A and B are shown apart, each in its own frame.
Chain A
């Protein structure tokens, strides 16, 4: 028992303490969170715009040119692996850009936007058509009706799936090691290859992801409850 405990303590020391290795995890986590946060904001912005594009109609009530463009974007993004999108962004499209984090943010933001677009579109369609008709019948324009009446109600509809998308995005950033960024996953991996001991670093990184996502989940639930309360339904 004594020997086993000593072994565990040594493993822990190697993985986290000696050489101030814990700093590497924190630095890695910083990169992970930085990419995830900015990509989420970018994805939300792209997704909302693309959702509105996809819902736009031409004068005859058919699909507009904007809707077709949106469809092509969504098809391409959803039809290819995100790792490949990241590699293509890094090695081809933004070859001259030396800021890896920026490339990752763009890549993940553009990727997430396609999924967010479908979520937002569903949220808008779930708002009763009568709300739009009432707005338009009062003389409000299409845009005013969308901004003041439909979107605020759509946000409530989309919060749970958007939260889910953020969580997926946060974990998806674990692939940025492919473009030689040191995020949490890569930091753990590097340490395990330096100490020839995989258990502590990998499990440790997993626990950190888990805790971060648990906190995110709790915050999202709180936000959802608050929005429901003002709803009084």
Chain B
């Protein structure tokens, strides 16, 4: 579904991605772990071109999206993204946060979008917050709403950029539960996270990134019990 070929990204003199190759298949849940500064967030943000790659190719559903002629807005309609800092629209109610994009992009009528939003909100247990504003919610609630906002676009794939890193510890669980439910529903997911438990439990593949490349890739069981490269062994010994 997503094919990445020899992806490079430089910021000024900082060579963050140094040739990433990967193939995400439909229905997979790819979990990316690695030390900070390893390029994992940059890699994820390149997938929907929030960062413009310096060189390399990204294919999505058979379309070369790194081609400058491609209308990236159309591609992004099919790729949901959840951010570390939630990024709910502060000026809009929860309902408007969720319905803004589907309605303005003319994918749904206002009524359809509202109905869809309410059923998605019910799914994450936040139906009563439809008329609230983001500032009235806890971090965990905000992040669940942010997931709903992405889902309202019926994306083909969901990208998660450290979705629990800005949360108080007691709120991490509620967000991970929503993500697990989403995984069970068959959604294709790419998740950058520090939650090793989630990686082990939900991931179909776990990637270890360091120094701008994918250093190791394996099934969760093998990844954690039998790490191959020295860097990953050091990393795991620190975080587990």
Contact = CB atoms under 8 A, between A and B. Distances in A.
Interface of A: 59, 128, 130-131, 133-141, 144, 148-149, 152-153, 231-233
A168 B146 CA distance: 43
Contacts of B135: 231-233
Given A131-B90, A133-B87, A232-B133, A140 B50 contact: no
A138 B153 contact: yes
A231 B104 contact: no
Contacts of A131: 87, 89-90
A152 B104 CA distance: 16
B10 to A, nearest CB: 13
Q: Which of A134, A141, A148, A149 has the most chain B CB atoms closer than 10 A to its own CB? A: A134
Contact of A133 (B50, B91, B133): B50
B188 interface: no
Interface in B34-79: 48, 50, 68, 73-77, 79
15 contacts: A131-B87, A131-B90, A133-B50, A134-B89, A135-B101, A136-B50, A138-B77, A138-B101, A139-B74, A139-B105, A148-B100, A149-B91, A231-B91, A232-B136, A233-B135
A141 B91 contact: no
Contacts of A138: 76-77, 80, 100-101, 149-150, 153
A153 B90 contact: yes
Say what secondary structure dominates the interface of chain A: helix
Interface string B88-117: 111110000000110011000000000000
B21 to A, nearest CB: 24
B214 to A, nearest CB: 23
Interface residues of B, number: 30
Contact of B105 (A130, A140, A231): A140
A50 to B, nearest CB: 23
Interface of B: 48, 50, 68, 73-77, 79-81, 83, 85, 87-92, 100-101, 104-105, 133, 135-136, 146, 149-150, 153
Contact of A137 (B50, B89, B90, B100): B50
A139 B83 contact: no
A136 B136 contact: no
A206 B85 CA distance: 51
A17 B34 CA distance: 84
Contacts of B105: 139-140
A102 B133 CA distance: 44
Contacts of B85: 128, 130
Contacts of B83: 130, 133-134
